Structure 1
Amino acid sequence: EVEQLRADGVDKEVLREGTGPLPDFRDGTKVTFHYRTLRCEDEERPLDDSRARGKPMELIAGKKFKLPVWEAALRTMRPGERARFRCDTKHVLLYPLVSKSLRNIAAGKDPLEGQRHCCSMAQLHDHCSLGFPDLDELQKNPQPLTFDMEVLKVEAPGSYEQDPWAMTDEEKLQAVPQIHKQGNELYREGRVQEAASKYYDAIACLKNLQMK
């Protein structure tokens, strides 16, 4: 798969070898990883850094993540491996939108905030600001990007609880009552902060469905 990536404009540089065999990345496999996003012309100042935010990224294979090159890159990595992927511009055109959503999630906001009245294509054509000057500049002037990625954990389908953002529409509909029930139970136990987090997840699911 590394050869396929290279042929498609993605160069991989292994910074630290991983351990064990290459995981079987079936659809539904969950990968937890850290990442840094770098401009190829300026690799000292990252656009985004999950370590700096204190929380790694999670990606579920086969869920049609908006940045397919991330899933393609992760499929070539073993647990514990760290590598850099230098990607041609065609692979990262949607990165400004993805980054905005991830920044909103890290700040405890709705990941779709600001996209209700402005479609993705309109944003890409500079009709809407993303609310971050560096991302606005990147969408005005698309360029190759480098992703410095470190795989922390790989979990097989069915061995973990899905986060709401990773669910299909049908899964969200089924999950909302259960998430709300979990929130009520936590509230009755006096675990208010945890209950609030569950209520937020339920509301986020409903908002996402309403925007379809």
Structure 2
Amino acid sequence: EQLRADGVYKEVLREGTGPLPDFRDGTKATFHYRTLRCGDEEAPLDDSRERGKPMELIAGKKFKLPVWEAALRTMRPGERARFRCDAKDPLEGQRHCCSIAQLHDHYSLGYPDLDELQKNPQPLIFDIEVLKVEAPGSYQQDPWAMTDEEKLQAVPLIHKEGNELYRQGKVQEAAAKYYDAIACLKNLQMKEQPGSPDWIELDQKITPLLLNYCQCKLQSEEYYEVLDHCSSILNKYEDNVKAYFKRGKAHAAVWNVAEAQADFAKVLALDPSLRPVVTKELRSLESRLREKDAEDKIRFKGIFSQ
């Protein structure tokens, strides 16, 4: 009834299963959708299936398209339905059209139709299929959806998950976990005065996560990202041995020989107990340099003998 009062009409295309979820704040709905023009339903303006990833909405988080949250509150898992904005209510139609254009920011599928919709609003149809509905607390929230308190509580858990994935050899997945944990803390840090005690405390929590992230990037041979992040750490914490060591390895990998040697020397100066590890890295670098010199001689010999 509320949908009709808002000028939105529902047509069930396939019944769902189970009871209607209560959809209290924090409930997460995962669904596919298509956006259609009334009267031109063969050419969708947008289709989540073409992106290969469903949409996720968390109730109570002020989603940009309020009509979707209102529609989802009437649906069961597995249900598919169409929701049409009433053409007799131009203000309602305009609000939905402008919202969909803002939501996709003009580039969702590269269609110029969304730009046209903002200029000339018209009624739309949303074809929605609910894949699953999860109660608050039954799923791990994305960082953007968390409150500040939830972010702080989530970081140690995400960190632990990242460590476990790394131990299993799932380097890319581990990097994604470390990235999420860093994003939580960075979001909180942005609200603090740079250099304040709270800002520094958060930064000290970010540093070990960033070093773990760099270790993953070393494994995946993304050396320049390691150089950037380790340098940013060393600009603030000049005695961070792990940052020097990882940056030294990255320098060595991209043939920055002098820089690598300088970083490894700094590691030894800060922690002489790491001499066996550093010696191994320096010998590896020297061996690669000899191989490279031999290859260069053969290559240049071939050039000059032609």
TM-score, normalised by the number of residues in structure 1? 0.68
CA contact (8 A) 2:64 2:103 kept: no
Cα 1:8–1:159 change in 2 (3 A) is: same
Return the offset for 1:46.
1.5
C-alpha deviations, 1:65-102, integer Å up to 9, x for none?
A: 121111110111112211000125xxxxxxxxxxxxxx
Return the offset for 1:12.
0.6
Cα 1:26–1:113 change in 2 (3 A) is: closer
CA contact (8 A) 2:94 2:121 kept: no
Cα 1:55–1:110 change in 2 (3 A) is: farther
> Secondary structure in 1 aligned to 2:94?
coil
Q: Which has the higher contact order (CA 8 A, sep 6+)?
A: 1
Return the offset for 1:129.
13
Cα 1:39–1:121 change in 2 (3 A) is: closer
Q: If you compute each CA radius of gyration, which structure gives the higher value, 1 or 2?
A: 2
Cα 1:133–1:172 change in 2 (3 A) is: farther
Cα 1:71–1:129 change in 2 (3 A) is: closer
1:165-180 equivalences in 2 (<5 Å): 165-176=144-155, 178-180=157-159
Whole-angstrom distance in 1 between the partners of 2:31 and 2:132: 7
Of the structure 1 ranges 170-179 and 154-163, higher mean CA displacement relative to structure 2 is found in 170-179
CA contact (8 A) 1:176 1:202 kept: yes
CA contact (8 A) 2:7 2:89 kept: no
CA contact (8 A) 2:93 2:121 kept: no
Alignment equivalent of 2:171, drawn from 189, 192, 198:
192
C-alpha deviations, 1:128-162, integer Å up to 9, x for none?
A: 99986343333333332211011121222222221
Cα 1:87–1:122 change in 2 (3 A) is: closer
Whole-angstrom distance in 2 between the partners of 1:37 and 1:172: 33
Return the offset for 1:193.
1.4
TM-score, normalised by the number of residues in structure 2? 0.49
Identity across matched positions, percent: 91
Whole-angstrom distance in 2 between the partners of 1:49 and 1:10: 20
Partner residue of 2:137?
Answer: 158
CA contact (8 A) 1:114 1:130 kept: no
Cα 1:37–1:168 change in 2 (3 A) is: farther
> Secondary structure in 2 aligned to 1:11?
strand
Whole-angstrom distance in 2 between the partners of 1:123 and 1:71: 16
C-alpha deviations, 1:46-76, integer Å up to 9, x for none?
A: 2221222222222222222121111110111
Of the structure 1 ranges 3-12 and 188-197, higher mean CA displacement relative to structure 2 is found in 188-197
Cα 1:22–1:203 change in 2 (3 A) is: same
C-alpha deviations, 1:3-59, integer Å up to 9, x for none?
A: 111121101111111223222222222222111111224221222212222222222
CA contact (8 A) 1:183 1:196 kept: yes
Q: How many residues align?
A: 191
Cα 1:138–1:174 change in 2 (3 A) is: farther
Greater percentage in strand: 1
CA contact (8 A) 1:186 1:194 kept: yes
Alignment equivalent of 1:77, drawn from 75, 78, 92:
75
Whole-angstrom distance in 1 between the partners of 2:154 and 2:99: 27
Q: Which runs of 5 or more residues in structure 2 are unaligned? A: 191-305
Return the offset for 1:114.
26
Whole-angstrom distance in 2 between the partners of 1:156 and 1:24: 9
Partner residue of 1:87?
Answer: 85
Whole-angstrom distance in 2 between the partners of 1:154 and 1:124: 22
Greater percentage in helix: 2
Return the offset for 1:118.
20
Cα 1:201–1:41 change in 2 (3 A) is: farther
Cα 1:77–1:117 change in 2 (3 A) is: closer
Cα 1:187–1:136 change in 2 (3 A) is: farther
CA contact (8 A) 2:16 2:79 kept: yes
Cα 1:129–1:10 change in 2 (3 A) is: closer
CA contact (8 A) 1:123 1:130 kept: no
Whole-angstrom distance in 2 between the partners of 1:111 and 1:191: 52
Whole-angstrom distance in 2 between the partners of 1:87 and 1:168: 33
Of the structure 1 ranges 202-211 and 3-12, higher mean CA displacement relative to structure 2 is found in 202-211
